[in-house]
Amino acid sequence: MTSRALAVSAALAAAIALTQLAAPAPAHADDAATTTTTTADATVPRVGVIVELTVNLPPGRADAIAGALADALNRELEVDALGGDDVTRLLPPDGLPDECVGTPACIADVAARLNATQLLFLAIVQVGDDTQVDASWVDVATGAGATRPRVTLHADARAGAVFATQAQRYLPDARRREAGGKTIIIEGGDGRRAPGRDRHLTRTTWITGGVAVAAGAATTLLGLSARSLYHRCEREICPQRDLDTLHGRDVLADVGLGVTVAAAVTTVVLYLRSGAAAEAAPAAGPAVGVVPVAGGAVMSLGGTF
């Protein structure tokens, strides 16, 4: 029994130690975001923000306002808006023809250049210290159009903040973007974590694993000691005291083997079940959101670590 206990306990102790060392880093919501990536919904409209008319504006001011509007639409709504310099460099060098917003051929040309499904044509007028922004919306596929309420930017106002409060009025049919962004989601998919992804070593698992390793090590030492004494007693006559010691070590090795097996099985079961609750529960939300904006992207990071 000593040899068998020695071999089994050593194997179990080594297996548990390797399991704990090789266990993946915690992947549940309290530790870190997972790495599954989901791209934007293909139905998200692409909106081009075009400056059609300017009055009394300094150079570059109109593009800055259009870019601020596009950025605000991206932050507040589930759209892919393009404006400012990104639009200007895609339009004809000599500008748009007069009344482009009322000309189907011009609308089709602008939409093709921007790869847009909807267009917002802006008329921007500087009146004293204030800037008035009028917008006309056009759906490229149907040709439907509508005017949008005028927005006034006062001298001390931040265009982006003002447009953010008016975003839904520009595109009333667009869905409001959830906090954190969902254009690109890390820890996304259907809202449920992949089976086994959230398995982790809990405190109880560490304790039972430690008991298994300790019991396995103790059993191994007892087995080696008993084996050495057994071989010595085979070569020479041992006193009764040594025989009693040998018997005691055999018994302790058997007990240690039982403890090792029980603790090892418990550790494995606890580890396998550690992700069961998370697999059934919806994910708390995206850990990282990336929203494309004109000239770059806006990234948000959420969750606890």
Structural domain that includes position 202: 2-37+194-280
Q: Do 33 and 45 share a domain, yes or no?
A: no
Where is the domain boundary, 145, 176, 207?
176
Residue 77 phi, psi dihedral angles, 5° rounding: -125, 160
pLDDT per residue over 182-226, tens digit each?
444 444 444 444 455 556 678 887 888 888 888 888 888 878 877
Q: Do 139 and 215 share a domain, yes or no?
A: no
Q: How far apart are CA 115 and CA 136, in angstroms?
A: 18
Question: Rounded to two decimals, what is the model's pTM?
Answer: 0.48
> CA–CA distance from 176 to each of 144, 151, 167, 179, 187 (Å)?
22, 20, 9, 9, 21
What average pLDDT does range 275-289 have in this prediction? 50
Q: How far apart are CA 148 and CA 120, in angstroms?
A: 9
The answer as to whether 299 is a domain residue is: no
Give pLDDT, residue 92.
Answer: 93
Give 286 or 225, the one with higher predicted confidence. Answer: 225
Query: Which residue, among 121, 118, 127, 114, has the nearest Cα to 98 in the 3D structure?
Result: 121
Instruction: Give the list of residues 6+ apart from residue 18 with CB closer than 8 angstroms, or none.
Output: none
Give pLDDT, residue 130.
Answer: 93
Q: Do 45 and 172 share a domain, yes or no?
A: yes
Contact 145/107 with Cβ under 8 angstroms? Answer: no
The answer as to whether 13 is a domain residue is: yes
Q: Do 259 and 272 share a domain, yes or no?
A: yes
pLDDT per residue over 230-268, tens digit each?
777 877 777 788 777 877 877 887 887 888 888 788 888
Residue 219 phi, psi dihedral angles, 5° rounding: -65, -40
The answer as to whether 304 is a domain residue is: no
Q: Do 56 and 137 share a domain, yes or no?
A: yes
> Is the model's pLDDT at 280 over the cut of 70?
no
Q: Do 172 and 223 share a domain, yes or no?
A: no
The answer as to whether 293 is a domain residue is: no
Q: What is the CATH number of the domain that holds 106?
A: 3.40.50
Total number of domains constituting the chain: 2
Q: Do 94 and 12 share a domain, yes or no?
A: no
pLDDT per residue over 261-270, tens digit each?
887 888 888 8
pLDDT per residue over 125-148, tens digit each?
999 999 999 999 999 999 999 999
Q: Do 122 and 231 share a domain, yes or no?
A: no
Q: Do 46 and 80 share a domain, yes or no?
A: yes
Where is the domain boundary, 110, 144, 176?
176
Q: Do 51 and 171 share a domain, yes or no?
A: yes
> Is the model's pLDDT at 284 over the cut of 50?
no
Give the burial class of 98: count Cβ atoms within 10 A of its Cβ; 0-12 exposed, 13-18 middle, 19 or more buried.
exposed
The answer as to whether 65 is a domain residue is: yes
The answer as to whether 203 is a domain residue is: yes
The answer as to whether 296 is a domain residue is: no
Q: Do 48 and 124 share a domain, yes or no?
A: yes
Q: Do 160 and 140 share a domain, yes or no?
A: yes
Give pLDDT, residue 25.
Answer: 46
> Is the model's pLDDT at 81 over the cut of 70?
yes
The answer as to whether 73 is a domain residue is: yes
Contact 300/74 with Cβ under 8 angstroms? Answer: no
